[in-house]
Amino acid sequence: MTFGNKTLAEQYDIVIMGGGLAGLSLARQLLLADANRSILILEHRQHPVAEAAHKVGESLVEIGAHYFYSRLALADHLNTAQLKKAGLRFFFPHGNNRDISQRIELGATFFPKTPSFQLDRGRFENYLATLIQTQGAHFFDSARVLTIDISQTESSKHTISFSWQKTRHTVQARWLIDATGRASKLKRQLGLTSRVNHNVNAAWFRVKGKIDLDTWSDQPDWLTLVPRHFRYLSTNHLMGAGHWVWLIPLASGCTSIGIVADPQIHSFNDINQQQEALAWLTRYEPQLAHALSANDVTIIDFHALKHVSHGCQQVYSAQRWAITGEAGVFLDPFYSPGSDFIAISNDFISALINTDLQRKSIVMAAAIYNQQYLALFHAFMPVYQDQYALMGHAGIMTHKVLWDYAVYWGMIGLLYFNKKYTDISFMQSIGDTMHKLTELNIRVQQILRDNITDPHAFPVEKFIDTLSFDFLYEWNSSLTQPLPDDLLRKKLSSNLAYLQSIADNLNSKATLKENMTIASQENQLLFRDEGLRCCD
């Protein structure tokens, strides 16, 4: 059937409900694997969407960036139509926060070797929607899913009805994917909703105009600490007790700003409306509030969300359905993990679909992938849960950030870049290593939390260059270098031992440099013995 420039078949290999970041990227991934697959995407918004769209998820870190850049072959778009990112950057509170040059700063002074990007979601999703249609996918915007009938047998197909241009349409599909974001259509229908104990609220908005932190101070020594524009090109975090504020530049010339806060410390009512949020910024981040009052800055949207974190009881099924992106689980905006989880989830889903469309059994793989993905989600939760009270403590938080980087680059990212999450036998072979990592991370997060009442715990210098630590530089820089399985296992084991020594040093409450340097010296032998010496 043809409707103007839209084509609709009666049956598809895959129907994806939701044409946002998760759904569009999955369609791209599936078509790259097999251009002959029939795919229908049903998106409720009208396309093209506005640039600087209201969605969160504009900061890409290494896993998500690698997924889009390499796995989906979108390097040209990212390099020319989006902004390359100068890493994550953190400013900790000082006095009344009226002089940013006096705040303790943690961030890089050069671009990390493994790239990441700031993502204008509207621009990116418009590009992807056009691209997948040129690859043969059928894309219906302004479409509203009405009913979902899940197949109960191998021989039958799922049935989906939707409205488009005031007309009801019905299609069948072998695979059904829920990528509807927080609408979570399939999750709600199947009763898979699962709340998590971590509770933070968020408010965010976009402004037309450039918010450049380097203009907030004329102090020469501070300005020369970091190359010009590097602070602007970072995903900036303005930290405080129980909260943080993000500033993300977008290629469209807009700036994304968000407030994320623990309701035990900051009431949702203080940030859930535009005027209240601006008043809150005036109190806690007066330099940002002042920048927003400039004549050339205009607020173009405002959104607020209560209890941003959520879980899901099941995300993949041998009945040939799957849930991806925020339709399934979401941790927290801090460290920008949303696109990472999209990347990992879509890899699992693609592996299942690739296997099933070859008419091979997916019963075991679906169960294992489901367990792995949800286990990863729960393993990450201690990074966030009960940790917001630490955010105003510069000494504790700089240690925490570098620890979390180390776990991410040295273990979690290393597995993703080597394409191991979907390798069942390999993941089973490192089960003990991953269990030890989970337990070690829980221990470290508790050590940090136990020191919250000590204002002098973990003293730090005024400026910390993230990549000045050799082991962090090496772990980030080597992510794109594939390793054979035997060396990868050794590298994971070596990195875990390295992390263990850092954890042991944290009990001494020494300075950040002493903690990390001691760990580095103690573990050089591990790198030499395994042909993996730091910073070769």
Q: What is the pLDDT of residues 367-401, one digit of tens each?
A: 999 999 999 999 999 999 999 999 999 999 999 99
Interatomic CA distance for residues 323 and 71, integer angstroms: 20
Is the overall model pTM greater than 0.75, yes or no? yes
Closest CA to 401 of 459, 454, 464, 341: 464
Residue 462 has pLDDT above 50, yes or no: yes
How many beta carbons lie within 10 A of that of residue 166, not counting itself?
5
CB 63 within 8 A of CB 233: no
Q: Which CATH architecture has domain 83-118+199-305?
A: 2-Layer Sandwich (3.30)
Which helix (DSSP H) or strand (DSSP E) does residue 246 occupy?
A: strand 243-249
CB 99 within 8 A of CB 288: no
Return the structure tokens found at 456.
Answer: 């002098």
Judging by DSSP bridges, how do beta strands 138-140 and 144-149 pair with one another? Answer: unpaired
| Strand ranges for 87-182 from DSSP E | 88-91, 105-107, 117-118, 138-140, 144-149, 158-164, 167-178
CB 483 within 8 A of CB 418: yes
Q: What type of residue is 479? A: L
Q: What is the pLDDT of residue 289?
A: 97
What integer is the mean pLDDT of 410-439? Answer: 98
Interatomic CA distance for residues 348 and 367, integer angstroms: 11
> What is the per-residue burial (b if ≥16 Cβ within 10 Å, else e) of 506-527?
beebeebeebbbbbbebbeebb
What percentage of residues in the chain have a pLDDT greater than 70? 95
Interatomic CA distance for residues 221 and 225, integer angstroms: 6
Contact residues for 267 (Cβ-Cβ < 8 A; gap 6+): none
Interatomic CA distance for residues 203 and 271, integer angstroms: 6
What integer is the mean pLDDT of 462-490? Answer: 96
Residue 191 has pLDDT above 90, yes or no: yes
What integer is the mean pLDDT of 319-326? Answer: 98
Residue 528 has pLDDT above 70, yes or no: no
Residue 340 has pLDDT above 50, yes or no: yes
Q: What is the pLDDT of residue 517?
A: 67
Span(s) in the chain for CATH 3.30.9.100: 83-118+199-305
Q: What is the pLDDT of residue 532?
A: 43
How remote is the C-alpha of 17 from its chain's centroid?
A: 21
pLDDT in tens, 96-132: 999 999 999 999 999 999 999 999 999 999 999 999 9
Identify any residues that bridge with 117 across adjacent strands, giving them in sequence order: 84
Q: Mean pLDDT lowest for which of 135-149, 248-262, 304-318, 521-535?
A: 521-535
For the chain, the distance separating the N- and C-terminal CA atoms, rounded to the nearest angstrom, is 59
Residue 512 has pLDDT above 80, yes or no: no
Q: What is the pLDDT of residue 533?
A: 40
Return the structure tokens found at 411.
Answer: 């273990």
Q: Which residue has the higher pLDDT, 91 or 154?
A: 91
What integer is the mean pLDDT of 67-82? Answer: 98
Q: What is the pLDDT of residue 521?
A: 54
Q: What is the pLDDT of residue 508?
A: 66
Span(s) in the chain for CATH 3.50.50.60: 1-52+121-194+312-386
Q: Which CATH architecture has domain 1-52+121-194+312-386?
A: 3-Layer(bba) Sandwich (3.50)
Residue 305 has pLDDT above 80, yes or no: yes
Which helix (DSSP H) or strand (DSSP E) does residue 28 occupy?
A: helix 21-33
CB 106 within 8 A of CB 89: yes
Ramachandran region, residue 18 (left: φ > 0; alpha: ψ -120 to 50; beta: rest): left
Residue 506 has pLDDT above 90, yes or no: no
What counts of helices (H) and strands (E) characterise the chain?
Answer: 18, 23
pLDDT in tens, 272-284: 999 999 999 999 9
How remote is the C-alpha of 477 from its chain's centroid?
A: 19
Contact residues for 272 (Cβ-Cβ < 8 A; gap 6+): 201, 203, 304, 306
Instruction: Provide the mean pLDDT of the chain.
Output: 93
How is the chain split among helix, strand and coil, in percent rounded to 5? Answer: 45, 20, 35
Interatomic CA distance for residues 218 and 208, integer angstroms: 24
DSSP for residue 228: T
Interatomic CA distance for residues 408 and 530, integer angstroms: 21
Q: What type of residue is 214? A: D
CA distances from 28 to 44, 57, 103, 317, 325 (A): 19, 19, 43, 21, 15
Residue 531 has pLDDT above 80, yes or no: no
Closest CA to 257 of 78, 49, 58, 21: 58
pLDDT in tens, 26-73: 999 999 999 999 999 999 999 999 887 777 789 999 999 999 999 999
Return the structure tokens found at 502.
Answer: 């850092």
Q: What type of residue is 210? A: K
Interatomic CA distance for residues 375 and 378, integer angstroms: 5
